[in-house]
Chains A and B, each alone.
Chain A
Amino acid sequence: MSKLTRISDAWRQDSEAIASLDEKDLPVLPAGLSEGREGAALPVLGAKTMEHCECGLDGACALNIARPKSREEEDALVASFLSGLDKLFSKENNWTFLQPLLLTMEHCTGCQTCSTSCHIYDASGRNEIYRPTYRTEILRRLYFKYVKHGGLLSAWQHGNIELNWPLVARLAELSYRCNLCRRCAQACPIGADNGLVARELRKIFSQEMGIAPKEIHDKGSMLQLKSGSTTGMNPAAVRDNMDFVDDEMSEKTGLEVHTPWDVEGADILVIHNAGEILAWPENPGAFSVILNAAGIKWTLSSELSGYDGVNYGLWYDDAQFARVAMKHLEIARKLKVKAIVVGECGHAHKALGVIANRIALGDLDIPFVSSMTLLRDIVASGKLKLDPSRNDFPITLHDPCNMVRLMGIVEPQREILRAIAPQFREMTPHGVDNYCCGGGSGFAIMSPNNFSDWRAQVSGRKKVEQVMNAFSEVLDPSISKYVCAPCSNCKGQIRDLFAYWDIWDKHRILYGGLVELIVNAMTDVKPGFIDWEWR
Chain B
Amino acid sequence: MSVLTSIAIYAGLVFFVAGSLWRVVHYSRMPVHLRWEIYPVPGEGAKRSAHGGSYFEEKDWWKSPRVSHPLNELKAMLEEILFLRGVWRLNRTLWWVSYPFHMGLYLLISGCAFSSLGVVFGSYPFVPLVHLAARGCAWSGLGLTLVGSVGLLLRRIFDKNLRNYTTPSHLFNVAGFALSCGLIMAGALNGAMPPLKDAVFGLLAMHQGLQLPLLVNLGLILGSAMTGYIPFTHMAHYVAKYFTYHSVRWDDAEKNKSMEVHIAECLAYHPKWSASHYGGEGTKSWAELATTSPAGTERTKQ
Q: At the interface with chain A, which of B13-21, B117-125, B136-144, B231-239?
A: B231-239
A-facing residues in B38-69 (Cβ within 8 Å):
38-41, 44, 48, 51-59, 61-62
Residue among B236, B277, B279 with most chain A CB within 10 A? B277
Interface bits A145-159 vs B (CB < 8 Å: 1, else 0): 000000000001111
B39 touches A323 (CB 8 A): no
A111: contacting residue among B34, B94, B291, CB under 8 A? B94
Residue A410 CB within 8 A of the other chain: yes
**Interface 9-mer from A187-195, A258-266, A442-450, A519-527:** A187-195
Smallest CB separation, B233 vs chain A (Å):
7
A107, CB-defined interface residue at 8 Å: yes
From A207-215, A281-289, A507-515, give the one contacting chain B. Answer: A207-215
**Contact, CB under 8 Å: B56 / A409:** yes
Whether A407 touches B33, Cβ cut-off 8 Å, given contacts A191-B241, A358-B259, A359-B267, is no
Q: Which of B4-12, B84-92, B126-134, B188-196 contacts A (4 or more CB under 8 A)?
A: B84-92
Q: Which of A317-336 contact B (CB under 8 A)?
A: 317, 319-320, 322-323, 325-326
Interface centre among A87, A109, A317, by most chain B C-beta atoms within 10 angstroms, is: A109
B171 to chain A, nearest CB (A): 11
Q: Tell whether, in the assembled complex, residue A210 and residue B54 are in contact, meaning their CB atoms are under 8 Å apart.
A: no
Check B37 against A222 for contact (C-beta < 8 Å): no
Instruction: Determine if B179 is an interface residue (Cβ-Cβ < 8 Å).
Output: no
B87 with A189: CB separation less than 8 A: yes
Q: When the two chains form their complex, are residues A410 and B275 in contact, meaning their CB atoms are under 8 A apart?
A: no
**B259 partner residues in chain A, CB cutoff 8 A:** 358
B283 contacts the other chain (Cβ, under 8 Å)? no
A-chain residues with CB within 8 Å of residue B154 when the two chains form the complex: none
Residues of the B chain whose Cβ atoms lie less than 8 Å from the Cβ of A134? 164
The residues of B that contact A339 with a CB separation of less than 8 Å are 62
Q: Does A34 contact B (CB under 8 A)?
A: no
Shortest Cβ distance from residue A436 to the other chain B in the assembled complex, whole angstroms: 14
Q: Say whether A95 contacts B31, CB under 8 Å.
A: yes
Is B163 close to A, CB under 8 A? yes
Q: How many residues of A contact B (CB 8 A)?
A: 97
Docked CA distance A370–B61 (Å) = 11
Known contacts being A87-B272, A225-B294, is A411 close to B237, with CB within 8 Å? no
Inter-chain contact A107/B61, CB cutoff 8 Å: no
- A528 in the interface, Cβ–Cβ < 8 Å? no
For the complex formed, measure the closest distance between the CB of A326 and the CB atoms of chain B, giving whole angstroms.
Answer: 5
Instruction: Assess the A133–B165 pair: CB atoms within 8 A.
Output: yes
Given known A-B contacts A103-B243, A185-B38, A190-B240, A207 and B33 have beta carbons under 8 A apart? no
Task: Determine if B301 and A80 form an interchain contact, defined as CB atoms under 8 angstroms apart.
Answer: yes
Q: B61–A367 contact, CB under 8 A?
A: yes
Q: Is A431 an interface residue (CB 8 A)?
A: yes
* Complex alpha-carbon distance, A92 and B226, angstroms: 35
Q: What residue in chain A is nearest B236 (Cβ atoms)?
A: A107
CB of A128 within 8 Å of the partner chain: yes
Q: Is the CB of B255 within 8 A of A357?
A: yes
CB pair B164 A128 closer than 8 Å: yes
Whether A405 and B39, one on each chain, are in contact in the complex, defined by CB atoms closer than 8 angstroms, is yes
When distances are taken between beta carbons in the complex, the residues of chain A under 8 Å from B286 are: 95, 322
Residue from the list B56, B163, B273 in contact with A373, Cβ < 8 A:
B56
Interface stretch of the complex, out of A16-24, A113-121, A295-303, A454-462: A113-121
Nearest-CB distance from A512 to chain B (Å)? 23
- CB distance A112 to B169 under 8 Å? no
Give the shortest distance, in Å, between A8 (CB) and chain B (any CB). Answer: 9
Q: Does residue B209 face the partner (Cβ distance < 8 Å to A)?
A: no
Evaluate contact between A353 and B56: CB separation under 8 angstroms: yes
Question: A99 near B248 (CB under 8 angstroms)?
Answer: yes
Establish whether residues A209 and B57, one from each chain, have CB atoms under 8 Å apart when the complex forms.
no
**A68-88 residues at the B interface, CB under 8 angstroms:** 77, 80, 83-84, 87
B213-246 CB mask vs A (1 if < 8 Å, else 0) is 0000000000000000000011111001101110
Contact residues in B for A361 (Cβ distance below 8 Å): 255, 260, 263-264
Q: Residue-by-residue, is B264-302 near A (CB-CB < 8 Å gives 1, otherwise 0)? A: 101101111111111110000010011111111001111
The answer to whether A211 and B300 have CB atoms under 8 Å apart is: yes
B240 nearest CB across to chain A (Å): 4
Contact call B302/A410, Cβ cutoff below 8 A: no
Q: Kindly state the separation between the CA atoms of A149 and B237 in the bound complex, as whole angstroms.
A: 22
Q: How far is the CA of A66 from the CA of B301 in the complex (A)?
A: 11
A-B contact count (CB 8 A): 283
Closest Cβ neighbor of B35 among chain A residues: A354
Q: How far is the CA of A260 from the CA of B233 in the complex (A)?
A: 59
Residues of B within 8 A of A368 (CB): 56
CB contact between B160 and one of A4, A115, A185, A320 (< 8 Å): that residue? A4
A116 with B248: CB separation less than 8 A? no
Q: Which residue of B lies closest to A7 (CB)?
A: B164
C-alpha spacing A111/B244, complex, angstroms: 17
- A355 interface hit (Cβ, 8 Å): yes
A389 within 8 A of B: no
Q: Which residues of A contact B292 (CB under 8 A)?
A: 323
> Do B27 and A210 touch (CB < 8 A)?
no
Residues of chain B within 8 A (CB-CB) of A207 are 273-275, 278, 280
Is A43 an interface residue, CB under 8 A from the partner? no
A113-B162 Cα distance, complex, nearest whole Å: 11
A103-B244, A156-B167, A191-B249 known; A222+B289 contact, CB < 8 A = no
**B59 pairs with A373, CB closer than 8 A:** yes
B161 an interface residue at 8 Å Cβ cutoff?
Answer: yes
A503: B residues at CB distance < 8 A: none
Q: Check A113–B161 contact: CB distance below 8 A.
A: no
A370 to B55, CA, bound (A): 11
Known contacts: A100-B36, A191-B249. The answer to whether A91 contacts B57 by CB under 8 A is: no
Q: What chain B residues lie within 8 Å of A404 (beta carbons)?
A: 39, 52
In the complex, the 3 A-B pairs of residues with the closest C-beta atoms, listed nearest first: A191-B244, A408-B54, A432-B52
Which A residues fall within an 8 A CB radius of B? 4, 6-7, 65-66, 77, 80, 83-84, 87, 91-100, 102-104, 106-113, 115-117, 128, 133-134, 137, 156-159, 182, 185-193, 196, 206-211, 217-218, 222, 225-226, 317, 319-320, 322-323, 325-326, 339, 353-355, 357-359, 361, 365, 367-370, 373, 377, 404-412, 431-432
Would you list 19 pairs from A and B whose C-beta atoms are within 8 A, ordered by A residue?
A: A4-B160, A4-B163, A87-B272, A95-B32, A102-B30, A106-B234, A158-B169, A182-B38, A185-B249, A186-B38, A210-B275, A319-B273, A319-B277, A322-B289, A408-B44, A409-B57, A410-B57, A431-B52, A432-B51
Known: A95-B269, A156-B169, A326-B291. 12 other contacts (CB 8 A): A95-B31, A95-B286, A110-B170, A187-B86, A191-B241, A191-B244, A208-B275, A210-B275, A210-B299, A373-B59, A409-B54, A409-B56
